[in-house]
């Protein structure tokens, strides 16, 4: 008798390293900078309840019935209008979280052995979603403006990738943002190379002082798929995101969506639409989240300044949820993690976010889950751990 025979792709699947780390670090006595969870204080609970009441009073049966795979038409219109370039509602596909957008992109564009370009480091969930379709991934390094263009050009001429995957705003994991000039240059370079763009923008609304420049997709819409999320603006437990897809690709994305889950939950789409369009809600809500996260980010920057020994460096994000820290030469953030957890603080080692050649000195710190007080204590504990390592 034979046993189960797995697809080749299943052999390459592995437990999410981050989810495994979270299991260890989510003990109540540990201050965790590891998670990527938005602050639950930011969830608009009352707005959802008002929306639920309205939807179930006006359209209870439609909210509970099967619905169009494209998504709820008013929500698609809302998305199209909210974007800073000319997007038709017909190009908007509502997805079950933006993670599903990544999966559908993989399904429609990646054959076994197809090449895909990613920034390095990059979002782990995207690498996971793509890897199910067995691409060859190659990485282009970032400089302080974003993707290095010469390196992109050289690699693309050699490898002919199917697309480049970009996180333009407050990138997970580094918190880095592409400059306006670099966005325009990337669009120009991709146009010249005939290289389509898949741009992922879950954090764009979470800016601190000024909105980020327009998406790269806005400079090259014909050859860009743009992914957005309601997880950070409304609530991740709703599992709602969207993809803006050029007409040439839309039918295939839609058919892949049908096969994947028929459609995203009707109730959730209607709730999101009602919450987003409550008069005055969105602007006030976003201001509140921005102020909350900015305060937490400043608390972390201040604590780092206060506690960290020489040789530790970090960046200053302009928004989002993450900050990127680099240890002094000779230290290894993955090797150090158990000691840090022992001291009572947790983070995600940077190595988790590299496809190849990880920089072992890096780590991702989330500033949105802990309170400013906890942030100060946690950073102090982390600084202690680093000092012990340096002394050892």
Task: List binders of a copy of itself among 86-115 (CB under 8 A).
Answer: 96-97, 99-100, 103, 107-112, 114
DSSP 8-state secondary structure symbol assigned to residue 207: B
Per the CB < 8 A criterion, the answer to whether 174 and 48 are in contact is no
- Kindly state the tokens that stand for 28: 């109540």
Cβ-based nearer residue to a copy of itself, 238 or 340: 238
* Cα separation values, 195 from 192, 245, 253, Å: 8, 15, 18
Cβ-based nearer residue to a copy of itself, 128 or 296: 128
Rounded-to-integer distance, Cα 168 and Cα 66, Å: 35
Among 54, 62, 326, 387, binds a copy of itself (CB under 8 A): 62
Cβ-based nearer residue to a copy of itself, 114 or 389: 114
Q: Residue 180: which of 145, 232, 131, 128 has the closest Cα? A: 145
Angle at 299 between CA 374 and CA 141, to 5 degrees: 105
Residue list 17-46, contact with a copy of itself (CB under 8 A): 19, 36-38, 40, 43, 45
Q: How far is the CB of 189 from a copy of itself (least distance, A)?
A: 12
Cβ-based nearer residue to a copy of itself, 163 or 314: 163
Determine the interface stretch with a copy of itself among 139-147, 169-177, 249-257, 311-319 (rule: CB under 8 A). 249-257
Determine the interface stretch with a copy of itself among 54-62, 201-209, 331-339, 358-366 (rule: CB under 8 A). 54-62
Cβ-based nearer residue to a copy of itself, 108 or 303: 108
Among 157, 180, 262, 284, binds a copy of itself (CB under 8 A): 262
Determine the interface stretch with a copy of itself among 124-132, 145-153, 314-322, 325-333 (rule: CB under 8 A). 124-132
Determine the interface stretch with a copy of itself among 56-64, 167-175, 320-328, 341-349 (rule: CB under 8 A). 56-64
Among 26, 27, 60, 82, binds a copy of itself (CB under 8 A): 60
φ and ψ of 144, to 5 deg = -75, -5
Q: How many residues bind a copy of itself (CB under 8 A)?
A: 83
Residue list 182-241, contact with a copy of itself (CB under 8 A): 191-192, 194, 196, 223, 231, 235-239
Cβ-based nearer residue to a copy of itself, 135 or 146: 135
Among 151, 255, 298, 315, binds a copy of itself (CB under 8 A): 255
Cβ-based nearer residue to a copy of itself, 265 or 349: 265
Tell me the HSE value of 297 on the side-chain side, using a 13 A CA sphere: 23
Beta strands in 127-206 (DSSP E): 136-143, 146-147, 163-167, 197-200
Q: Residue 44: which of 270, 260, 232, 324 has the closest Cα? A: 232
Among 92, 129, 176, 308, binds a copy of itself (CB under 8 A): 129
Cβ-based nearer residue to a copy of itself, 32 or 389: 32
The strand order across the sheet containing 197-200 reads 92-95, 241-244, 224-229, 197-200, 163-167, 115-120, 136-143, 146-147
Q: How far is the CB of 153 from a copy of itself (least distance, A)?
A: 14
Q: How far is the CB of 112 from a copy of itself (least distance, A)?
A: 7
**Residue 97 Ramachandran class (φ > 0 left, ψ -120 to 50 alpha, else beta):** left
Beta strands in the chain (DSSP E): 31-32, 92-95, 115-120, 136-143, 146-147, 163-167, 197-200, 224-229, 241-244, 313-314, 322-326, 345-346, 348-349, 362-366
Determine the interface stretch with a copy of itself among 141-149, 209-217, 255-263, 276-284 (rule: CB under 8 A). 255-263
Q: How far is the CB of 151 from a copy of itself (least distance, A)?
A: 20
* Cα separation values, 188 from 31, 139, 182, 194, 380, Å: 44, 19, 10, 10, 45
**Residue 194 Ramachandran class (φ > 0 left, ψ -120 to 50 alpha, else beta):** left
* Contact track, a copy of itself, 265-294, x by CB under 8 A: xxxx--------------------------
């Amino acid at each position: 008798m034979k046993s189960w025979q797995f697809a080749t792709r299943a052999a390459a699947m592995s437990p999410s390293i981050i989810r495994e780390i979270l299991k260890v670090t989510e003990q109540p006595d540990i201050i965790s900078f590891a998670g990527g969870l938005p602050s639950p204080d930011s969830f608009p609970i009352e707005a959802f309840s008002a929306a639920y009441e309205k939807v179930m009073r006006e359209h209870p049966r439609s909210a509970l019935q099967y619905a169009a795979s494209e998504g709820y038409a008013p929500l698609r219109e809302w998305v199209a209008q909210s974007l800073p370039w000319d997007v038709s509602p017909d190009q908007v596909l509502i997805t079950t979280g933006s993670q599903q957008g990544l999966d559908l992109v993989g399904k429609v564009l990646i054959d076994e052995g197809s090449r895909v370009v990613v920034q390095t480091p990059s979002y782990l969930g995207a690498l996971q979603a793509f890897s199910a379709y067995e691409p060859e991934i190659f990485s282009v390094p970032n400089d302080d403006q974003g993707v290095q263009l010469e390196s992109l050009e050289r690699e693309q001429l050699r490898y002919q990738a199917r697309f480049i995957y970009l996180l333009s705003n407050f990138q997970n994991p580094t918190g880095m943002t592409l400059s306006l000039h670099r966005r325009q240059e990337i669009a120009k370079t991709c146009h010249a190379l005939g290289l389509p763009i898949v741009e992922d923008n879950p954090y764009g609304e979470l800016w601190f002082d000024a909105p980020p420049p327009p998406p790269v997709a806005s400079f090259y819409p014909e050859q860009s798929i743009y992914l957005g999320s309601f997880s950070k603006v409304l609530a991740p437990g709703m599992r709602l995101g969207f993809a803006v897809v050029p007409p040439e690709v839309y039918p295939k994305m839609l058919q892949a969506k049908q096969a994947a889950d028929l459609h995203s939950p009707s109730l959730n789409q209607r709730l999101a639409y009602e919450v987003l369009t409550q008069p005055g809600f969105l602007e006030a809500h976003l201001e509140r989240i921005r102020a909350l996260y900015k305060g937490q980010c400043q608390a972390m920057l201040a604590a780092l300044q206060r506690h960290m020994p020489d040789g530790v460096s970090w960046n200053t994000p302009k928004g989002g949820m993450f900050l990127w820290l680099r240890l002094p030469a000779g230290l290894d953030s993955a090797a150090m993690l158990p000691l840090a957890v022992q001291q009572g603080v947790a983070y995600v080692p940077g190595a988790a976010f590299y496809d190849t050649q990880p920089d072992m000195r890096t780590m991702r710190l989330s500033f949105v889950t802990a309170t400013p007080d906890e942030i100060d204590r946690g950073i102090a504990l982390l600084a202690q751990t680093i000092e012990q390592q340096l002394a050892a």
